A = this chain, B = another copy of it.
């Protein structure tokens, strides 16, 4: 994307003239605010930024961004982003989606966009419910969750989004929380800076149909003890007293207290977001409250050529190879194979 003239833009520049239409108190407001705050940092002129969304409450975000925006159809945003980025490598493409949009109807496109390493930054608003359609179960709803479509509780094992995208070899994987503004901004910043398919899960509160879905561990009062903020190259420490940590026992992570029965800093699992092997992310993604603190931060960030880069490479390569044989002549192309002339 062009870094050419670096215009000094502010949050205001990224606010559209549409008034925002989410329920009062919805977590989406904060996500929108952080998005608008983060955009100026990339030094990308706003006409080169595109927000593509599917359908859902989350899907309305592009209307509120004063950039190019495309509110597409349910579950297919990733496919449109794939075509757009392939056609226009110069653009910065963001995809906004929900847990139903990305994991239910859109699950297949998600996997394939990730394995292709399409250079898009996908933010998934995970509220563990279908908001726009007024409260049905989503693929992240916990077993037993009673919703309009599951009055006796769901009977389906939920999908762990980050484990799934790791299986699809996503090159950037992160998680944050709607109300943890600074952290969310940082994650957006990191996602935006990554070259390749970035997947950012945002734990979002739907106060109307699934209020408090994450509160147990995201609440300000408890988050230090119940969430683990991953930091690259640092041992996994958490807790209000910063005295708890994660140790690996074989493949099994376990919670330990530093100083207690001989556990020292050195024993802790040190995070490495650049670990080429996605296994680490898959283990971290399974850590969940109350057994574990819930990890947030950048799980994975590995370099890999993007889909559009590889596509262009092939084209440039083919052009060069062809150029060696002289200029391309369409007339010749049409006449390829046996021809004959009638006088």
Chain A contact residues, CB within 8 Å of chain B? 104-108, 111-112, 115-117, 139, 152-153, 155-160, 163-164, 166-169, 248, 250-252, 277-280, 282-283, 286, 304, 307, 310-311, 314, 317-318
Q: Check if B164 sits within 8 Å of A116, measured CB to CB.
A: no
Report how far A285 CA is from B87 CA in the complex, Å.
34
Q: Report how many copies the assembly holds.
A: 2
- Residue among A111, A250, A278 with most chain B CB within 10 A: A111
Q: Check if B116 sits within 8 Å of A156, measured CB to CB.
A: yes
- Residue among A108, A311, A317 with most chain B CB within 10 A: A108
Tell me the minimal C-beta distance from A170 to chain B in angstroms: 10
A314 with B152, Cβ < 8 A, contacts A277-B252, A286-B277 known: yes
Known: A164-B168, A251-B251. 12 other contacts (CB 8 A): A107-B107, A107-B111, A152-B314, A152-B317, A155-B310, A155-B314, A156-B307, A164-B164, A167-B282, A248-B250, A279-B283, A279-B286
Report how far A282 CA is from B111 CA in the complex, Å.
16
Report how far A250 CA is from B107 CA in the complex, Å.
32
Q: Check if A159 sits within 8 Å of B111, measured CB to CB.
A: yes
Residue in B106, B167, B283 whose CB lies within 8 Å of A163: B167
Report how far A286 CA is from B112 CA in the complex, Å.
18
Report how far A304 CA is from B277 CA in the complex, Å.
29
Report how far A317 CA is from B153 CA in the complex, Å.
12
- Please give, as numbers and ranges, the residues of chain B lying within 8 Å of A252 by CB-CB distance: 277
Q: Check if A155 sits within 8 Å of B311, measured CB to CB.
A: yes
- Please give, as numbers and ranges, the residues of chain B lying within 8 Å of A159 by CB-CB distance: 111, 115, 167-168
Report how far A107 CA is from B111 CA in the complex, Å.
8
Q: Could you jot down 15 A-B contacts, CB within 8 Å?
A: A107-B108, A107-B111, A112-B139, A115-B159, A116-B155, A152-B317, A152-B318, A155-B311, A157-B304, A159-B168, A164-B164, A167-B282, A248-B251, A278-B282, A279-B282
